[in-house]
Structure 1
Amino acid sequence: MKKEIYVTSPLLPPLEEFIPYLEKVWENKRLTNGGPLHEQLEKELANYLGVKYISLFSNGTLELLTALQTLRITDEVITTPYSFVATSHSLLWNGLKPVFVDIDPLTCNLDPDKIEQAITSHTTAILPVHCYGIPADVDRIQSIADNYGLKVIYDAAHTFGVTKQGHSILNYGDLSILSFHATKVFNTIEGGAIISQDAKTKKRIDFLKNFGFADEVTVVAPGINGKRNEVQAAFGLVQLKHIDAALLKRKVIYLRYSEQLKKVAGIRVINIPKEIEWNYSYFPVFFDKSISYKRDEIYTAMKGVGILTRRYFYPLISSFPMYRGLDSANFNNLSEANILSNSVLCLPIYPDLSDFEQDNIISVFISLLVK
């Protein structure tokens, strides 16, 4: 292939539309600390996403750290090993103990039955991930949390624009965090947001992301610097004008992959629940147990011809040195997560992926699969 094809490519707004926003920044001379574009983006995102309260941050990891501080989480937190490491790292940085439980093989999300089995007198919260943007079983998780008096923070990094029965998935749980990293369906280069359910909680979040300042002389909490700058807010405002078209292009690419791969033996694609309006953020393919050994061979071979896929999520978080000593990281405790981690391969998907490039990806993938 003439050029490398990456597993994703950032959505960029038209430069000619971005420049007038930059001119506003130069005119205002406000670069950070909640400038007018920052405030405008919060309002427009809340309206677009169908949420009440949104707090912009400079990145998703700081959101996770702050969300745990916001709810004053202590001791043990039940979470998934099948995610990006930031999910669990945020727990360690807050002095909390991750308790890993297994996942549902169809949704790739926490198995509610396993959650309940893992609850002890030390459990204070549940930190699920909406993996690939497919929602976790939010109703059962909330029921379990209510029964045991637990907080729920959703790592919703993948779920921009995802709805369940017409309602934003971000409105479930006590807090949800979104990522606007360059690899996500909606990006502001870096960044993200915490979605909260009431004005009092938003106020605490906003204090915490600005060193705990309530005003210029009053510090009310041991905060952090998670603020968003005006240039990235401007970038986000332009992006928002084009996100619907970008999501539609993703859907077309997803449907094309699904149609051409559905009859290929030995693999399956992600299951999308009927009540979900998805954002087509990833295209994971899962290898059957009998041919899972081919996954790494195909990953390497495709890389060799310039097609960069990703093994999201491999290896499991629970296998890293800082986690593998935990009782909950035991291999037998996480059998489904281990199977998926060793059999998943995400194919490239992004709005600018051409039909020609996609046909090449499919052709190479199938030829290697049937070798």
Structure 2
Amino acid sequence: MTQSRYSAAAAANEPIYVASPLLPDIDAYRDQLVDIWATKQLTNGGQKSVNLEQALKEYLGIQSLALLSNGTIALMVACRALKLTGEFITTPFTFIATVHALAWCGLKPVFVDIDPVAMTIDPERIEAAVTPQTSAIVGVHVYGNRCAVDEIDAIAKRHKLKVIYDAAHAFGTRYRGRSIADFGDVSTYSFHSTKLFHTGEGGAVATRHKDLDAAARSLRNFGIASEESIPGTGINAKMSELQAGMGLAVLPLVDDEKVKRRSIFQRYNDAFNAIPGITTPPLGDLGEDSFQYYCLRVVSAAGTPTRDELYQRLKTANVFSRRYFWPLCSDTEEYKHLDSADPARLPNAHRAAREVLCLPLYGTLKDEDVSRIINALREACGVAS
């Protein structure tokens, strides 16, 4: 075998991971660094942070946005800005950071079940969970699927509750022509390196309310108002100029990245639609959806593999998928003792946690990589390629 054939054989079995960061050309990032070096300001709201906040407000179509060091701290800052106490109603079907962030602020989670199709918090379950101790509803937009924002906002208004939407999966998601961050009191974003838009590590708080925006800006800087005034208890949650520079280099690439992801999404759906036991996600519109993840649901039946069996078979083929979200937040050591964590109260969430499998989805996947993923899954399902 020639060297080229050896190389081709090796490439055919290289690991394919579930996520890969959207990286700008290194010269584009270097240009951002040159500006930062000239100012010698590495943090504390320098020009890169100012520019990125403005660019994101324009891109997302929102009024206010405060950059923060990560998405978890964004949830914590939102909690403090809204002055939440007591309990919050949320979904168990989310990344653990959603629940941890508010629990860290001294609040108690109350879990309610999810919609069986959208996999977002079910508004029909929320109202029955409201008690005198409830101060907020925390909804999570899952895989770019929006929460039932109209219904949730109406429930919150009836009961005088605050609403936080965790929009970590919903960068650019829109509803009825409006940014998804135009609903609720506060929306929080994660700009972690695995997200569609990222700053390496980072996050943001977005809101329509000027007082909440001002509170977030104060809280991210230790609660300092001036050299002589510290009226509140804040924290160090500022985004660095290095992160903001990365964001400014990445943002121009996002629209093209979404086009590439949608094309891969379509190839997956075309290949998997007719496989027994597999439910494919709906193909969204470029102007409305984030294309953050591609998530199958694997419905176990006689003669078909389970989700976990597919996960292992793909791993054997060096294709790394993700069981996302698994385990449920309500099943973790920290929260499983809660009455609301009883599996009997959360059947849809438990089913989703058993069925969802996220496949690799990013613009740098080569055509042959996509074909390899498709063939590996079809073979794992016992379907001829």
Aligned to 2:85, what secondary structure does the other structure show? coil
Q: Write the deviation string for residues 107-139 of structure 1: whole angstroms up to 9, x where unpaired.
A: 010011011111112111000100111100000
1:1-371 equivalent positions in 2, closer than 5 A: 1-271=12-282, 277-290=288-301, 294-370=306-382
CA displacement at 1:289 relative to structure 2: 4.0
How many angstroms apart in 1 are the aligned matches of 2:301 and 2:316? Answer: 24
User: What count of residue pairs does the alignment treat as equivalent?
Assistant: 371
Aligned to 2:301, what secondary structure does the other structure show? helix
CA displacement at 1:293 relative to structure 2: 5.8
- Check the 8 A contact 1:107/1:271 in 2, yes or no: no
How many angstroms apart in 1 are the aligned matches of 2:179 and 2:297? Answer: 27
How many angstroms apart in 1 are the aligned matches of 2:282 and 2:343? Answer: 25
- Check the 8 A contact 1:164/1:275 in 2, yes or no: no
- Check the 8 A contact 1:181/1:190 in 2, yes or no: yes
Alpha-carbon distance change, 79 to 134 in structure 1, aligned in 2, over 3 angstroms: same
Q: Write the deviation string for residues 46-97 of structure 1: whole angstroms up to 9, x where unpaired.
A: 0110000000001000001110000001101000000100010012101111
How many angstroms apart in 2 are the aligned matches of 1:65 and 1:141? Answer: 21
Match for 2:238: what amino acid? K
How many angstroms apart in 2 are the aligned matches of 1:293 and 1:338? Answer: 18
- Check the 8 A contact 1:60/1:180 in 2, yes or no: yes
Match for 1:329: what amino acid? A
TM-score, structure 1 as length reference: 0.97
How many angstroms apart in 2 are the aligned matches of 1:145 and 1:275? Answer: 30
- Check the 8 A contact 2:300/2:307 in 1, yes or no: no
- Check the 8 A contact 1:155/1:177 in 2, yes or no: yes
CA displacement at 1:298 relative to structure 2: 1.5
How many angstroms apart in 2 are the aligned matches of 1:140 and 1:36? Answer: 39
How many angstroms apart in 1 are the aligned matches of 2:262 and 2:282? Answer: 14
- Check the 8 A contact 1:134/1:272 in 2, yes or no: no
Match for 2:375: what amino acid? S
5+ residue gaps, structure 2: 1-11
CA displacement at 1:211 relative to structure 2: 0.5
* Percent identity of paired positions between Structure 1 and Structure 2: 42
Return 333-342 or 287-296, whichever deviates more: 287-296
How many angstroms apart in 2 are the aligned matches of 1:368 and 1:241? Answer: 38
Alpha-carbon distance change, 275 to 297 in structure 1, aligned in 2, over 3 angstroms: closer
How many angstroms apart in 1 are the aligned matches of 2:155 and 2:284? Answer: 22
How many angstroms apart in 2 are the aligned matches of 1:173 and 1:272? Answer: 26
Question: What corresponds to 2:8 in structure 1?
Answer: none
How many angstroms apart in 2 are the aligned matches of 1:333 and 1:273? Answer: 31
TM-score, structure 2 as length reference: 0.94
How many angstroms apart in 2 are the aligned matches of 1:294 and 1:187? Answer: 33
Alpha-carbon distance change, 211 to 4 in structure 1, aligned in 2, over 3 angstroms: same
How many angstroms apart in 2 are the aligned matches of 1:260 and 1:90? Answer: 39
CA displacement at 1:273 relative to structure 2: 7.1
Aligned to 1:325, what secondary structure does the other structure show? coil
Alpha-carbon distance change, 356 to 272 in structure 1, aligned in 2, over 3 angstroms: closer
How many angstroms apart in 2 are the aligned matches of 1:310 and 1:274? Answer: 24
How many angstroms apart in 2 are the aligned matches of 1:200 and 1:340? Answer: 38
Aligned to 1:258, what secondary structure does the other structure show? helix
- Check the 8 A contact 2:63/2:207 in 1, yes or no: yes
Aligned to 1:78, what secondary structure does the other structure show? strand
Match for 1:345: what amino acid? L
Question: What corresponds to 2:3 in structure 1?
Answer: none
Greater Cα radius of gyration, structure 1 or 2 = 2
Alpha-carbon distance change, 276 to 266 in structure 1, aligned in 2, over 3 angstroms: farther
5+ residue gaps, structure 1: none
CA displacement at 1:227 relative to structure 2: 0.3
- Check the 8 A contact 1:247/1:280 in 2, yes or no: yes
- Check the 8 A contact 1:82/1:313 in 2, yes or no: yes
Aligned to 1:263, what secondary structure does the other structure show? coil
